[in-house]
Amino acid sequence: MKLMHRKWTEDQFYKVRKEVLNQWHTGKGIDIEHAASYLQSVPKHKSFHRKMIEADREGKILLQPRAGVGGLQEHIKLLHNLEKSGADILPTTIDSFTRQNQYEHCEEAIRETSRLGRSMLNGFPAVNYGVEKCKLVFESVNLPLQARHGTPDARLLSEIVHASGWTSNEGGGISYNIPYAKKVSLERSLLDWQYCDKLVGIYEELGIRLNREPFGPLTGTLVPPCVSNAVAILEGLMAAEQGVKSITLGYGQLGNLCQDVAAIRVLKELAQEYFDRFEYEGIELTTVLHQWMGAFPNDETQALALISWGSVTAKYAGVTKIIVKTPQEALGVPTAESNAQGIRMSRAMLNWVGNQNVLSTKELTFEIDMLRIETRCIIDRVIELGVGDPSIGTVKAFEQGVLDIPFAPSLFNKGKMLPARDLSGAVRIMNFDKLPIAEEIKQIHRENLKRRALEEGRLIGIQMVIDDVNEVSRGRFI
């Protein structure tokens, strides 16, 4: 199929679906009508979109950790522990073999896990386990379940998890390609994620509302908010075109309170603006903040302080959900106890902030105004490149550097735009390259970085970028 920003017909979808379900034996025989019947029986309290929209209306913030292990019973036990620790929504992080569609390698790792008595996988192998075992996971817990992964081609994975009662799937054709893969073309991943979104759209037509959540943080390292917001909104438009009605747009914490709060508020405002422009009606739009996604401090006290700061940011930004980190992030895969500690710390900080959710300063107003201009500049240029087609425009934008994600491994990303922090810890842009930002806004970035360089007695250059990548692991933003 040729990439276009156009809703797939059912004939197009079912033609591709035959190939998708044959990728691995667990896909054979998945029937959408039968799966819809099963999804109809999902209790309201285990429906992702219901929990999110109810929290959004009531002004509550939900907590969701990140976790997943290879063993079936071990994963169920892990989810039970997270449930008891106060999580509001449960994750299932998928293993790396599945993310690369390497199901044969995954099968071998499952056999080795059984033989050795310890997990040889860094996540849950949902495709290899298939629908019945994934249903067992869903039926063993009492909260909504979401698949979280990093898969450029998540078509079979999406079929299996949705047929198993999992009512949300994270990712998108940009956010689960450019930051995660090296050689997958953007055109390929956008088409594959159109399939995932069309699948959700088909369930919607059958009366089943499933949630889609583009991955907001991207590389999680000094990504300017205008870039991450533009990508999130573009992926939201792509999902809406295929009939998705429940969309959660995400953002990765950068550290400066005003900038982060402004970014999330602008993200929701402009997303609705572009949904209206493209005449997508009835979208349930919610937001999620990912607590710091870069290198974490080794020191537990510093790590807990960073987690707490993310919760304060989320409260002032008014997000619907927080992706919670743990004090063991710097040490490897967190334990269940560490996950529980991260949840408790986040909950405690939200309680401390209480109803102090009004933040109104001239700095915040400045950041909001600037981000509106920057984000519109990028998205409008992408749409212009596609002659009104955001999907085609996205491919051309990455080819030309109009969209550029820092520190991404993809060969289809220019990697020439460079960010750095100013004296307040806000992320500014040092080298714009082809990023289509208005000249007066570019000058604001340059002046902020110049003030930092003068204060520190240094040059504006690559060493500043390197220092900023490493500083948070040392317990500070600057």
CA distance linking residue 122 with residue 476, whole number of Å: 29
- Give the dihedral sign, CA 409/410/416/418: negative
Is the pLDDT score of 115 beyond 90? no
C-alpha closest to that of 170 among 102, 56, 68: 68
- Give me the mean pLDDT over the 275-280 stretch: 98
Active site residues: 99, 170
Query: pLDDT-derived band of residue 114, with 50, 70 and 90 as boundaries?
Result: confident
Those residues whose C-beta lies under 8 Å from the C-beta of residue 420, and which sit 6 or more positions away, are: 222, 427, 428, 430, 449, 452, 460, 464, 465, 468
pLDDT for residue 62 = 98
Classified as helix, coil or strand, 378 is helix
C-alpha closest to that of 307 among 268, 341, 281, 262: 341
Is the pLDDT score of 330 beyond 80? no
8 A C-beta contact, residue 185 and residue 144: no
CA distance linking residue 109 with residue 97, whole number of Å: 9
pLDDT tens profile 361-395? 899 999 999 999 999 999 999 999 999 999 999 99
Strand partners, 55: none
Kindly state the tokens that stand for 460.
């504006």
Those residues whose C-beta lies under 8 Å from the C-beta of residue 334, and which sit 6 or more positions away, are: 67, 326, 328, 342
Those residues whose C-beta lies under 8 Å from the C-beta of residue 380, and which sit 6 or more positions away, are: none
8 A C-beta contact, residue 368 and residue 265: yes
Could you identify the residue written with the tokens 């929209």? 53
pLDDT for residue 116 = 82
Could you identify the residue written with the tokens 């999907």? 391
Is the pLDDT score of 245 beyond 90? yes
pLDDT for residue 460 = 96
DSSP annotation string for 326-342? -TTGGGSSPPHHHHHHH
- Give the dihedral sign, CA 363/365/368/374: negative
Classified as helix, coil or strand, 429 is strand
- Give me the mean pLDDT over the 7-17 stretch: 97
Quote the mean pLDDT of the chain: 95
Could you identify the residue written with the tokens 């990548």? 469
Classified as helix, coil or strand, 21 is helix
CA distance linking residue 199 with residue 217, whole number of Å: 25
Position 286: which residue type? T
- Give me the mean pLDDT over the 47-75 stretch: 95
- Give me the mean pLDDT over the 88-102 stretch: 97
Pairing, β 427-431 against β 418-421: antiparallel
Query: pLDDT-derived band of residue 167, with 50, 70 and 90 as boundaries?
Result: very high
pLDDT for residue 448 = 98
How many C-beta neighbours within 10 Å does residue 439 have? Answer: 7
Buried b (16+ CB within 10 A) or exposed e, 398-426: beebbbbbbbbebebbbbebbbbbbebbb
pLDDT for residue 208 = 98
- Give me the mean pLDDT over the 17-40 stretch: 97
SS (H, E, C) 225-267: HHHHHHHHHHHHHHHHHCCCCEEEEEEECCCCHHHHHHHHHHH
DSSP annotation string for 400-412? HTSS--TT---TT
